[in-house]
Amino acid sequence: MSNNNDLLAAMDIDVWVPRDRDAEQCASADAPDLASLEVAVSSCTRCELHTHRTQTVFGTGDPNASWLIVGEAPGAEEDRRGEPFVGRAGQLLNSMLAALGLSREEVFIANILKCRPPQNRDPKDDEVAKCASYLSRQVALIKPRIILAVGRVAAQNLLGQATPIGKMRGQRYTYGDTNIPVVVTYHPAYLLRSPQEKRKSWEDLKFALSAFEETV
């Protein structure tokens, strides 16, 4: 192949070499702002999930938010509307934020994955790995003062741990090599199925607020 290319070059014929798609997409994760990053995410084909999606779900909220809320992955309604945490779980999340004195518009809400897994199954390890740079870039651009991880999948993947969520609650973690505190709580969808756990979630939110106030 290289010999053929050398011959073509000697004949002054342009040689077209396929671009390294992975390298191109890794570079896109260094986008200078959220708008540019969202464009990169919208055309992502890093994993098989792009073949199933209606659209990507980048995230929503204040680009300068102090609070970053991280969930698992889009569901069917999120995939249809292109926005995270809509429907009943989204309404409960809004209520949880209101309990903290926050509105949905004041925080930024994102997911570990930007595309919906089929049948809302748990994300696969390779899917999380290929989407990770997008979330890390969101964190770098937003510069939140605290991250609230909602649900087991979000917490375990965000922190790189296999610890059960019940044991992660009430602990103050740190995101990657930053000083940004991470607090874990239950997913709103779980709380809808298990309303008796809402009291524990309220304790988590108060703990998160305390951790946030310590960053001032």
pLDDT number for residue 13: 58
Q: Read off the pTM.
A: 0.86
Average of pLDDT values for 56-61? 97
pLDDT number for residue 183: 98
The string of DSSP letters for the chain reads -HHHHHHHHHTT--------HHHHHHHHTT-SSHHHHHHHHHT--SSGGGGT-SS----EE-TT-SEEEEES---HHHHHHT-SS-HHHHHHHHHHHHHTT--GGGSEEEES-SSPPGGGPPPPHHHHHHHHHHHHHHHHHH--SEEEEESHHHHHHHHT----HHHHTT--EE-TTS--EEEEE--HHHHHH-GGGHHHHHHHHHHHHHHHHTT-
- 16 pLDDT band, cuts 50/70/90, is very low
pLDDT number for residue 5: 55
Mean pLDDT, the chain, integer: 89
pLDDT number for residue 196: 96
Q: What domains can you pick out in the chain, each with its CATH number?
A: 20-213 (3.40.470.10)
